[in-house]
Amino acid sequence: MTSINLSEPAPDVIPDILCDAAAKKRYQRGRFLGKGGFAKCYELTDLDNGQVFAGKIVSKQLLVKPHQKDKMAQEISIHRSLKHDHVVGFHSFFEDNNFVYIVLELCKRRVSFS
């Protein structure tokens, strides 16, 4: 008979509480904002101070090939180096066993280019 470990979430289920162990930060996953080719975006609320961010969440199941991991690392490196009024601000990034989390400035107004 197979045993089931109920304390570990399934690898494709994004937790409600996200823990950045290195920074000793915890975020509450909130409203779904959208998705792209690799990532899903949610509002994230810092549980210490209530500050709200956008969280770009990428499943590690989608980062199995070396070039995919390199592309993710390059995106983080480029984004953290950019500081401009017209570029979404980078706050931090962290990972757990199943996901990479990129914490970004939450843009309050949506822009339509139609």
CB atoms under 10 Å from CB of 54, counted, come to 19
Q: What type of residue sits at position 75?
A: E
Instruction: Give per-residue pLDDT as tens, 38-62.
Output: 899 999 999 999 999 999 999 999 8
* pLDDT at 1 > cutoff 50: no
Q: Kindly report the average pLDDT of the chain as a whole number.
A: 87
Model pTM score = 0.83
CATH topology for 17-105? Answer: Phosphorylase Kinase; domain 1 (3.30.200)
Binding residues for ATP: 56
Res 30: pLDDT? 97
**Is residue 21 within 8 Å of 2, Cβ to Cβ?**
no
Q: What type of residue sits at position 28?
A: Q
Burial class (CB in 10 A: 0-12, 13-18, 19+), 39: buried
Binding residues: 56
φ, ψ dihedrals at 59, nearest 5°: -70, 135
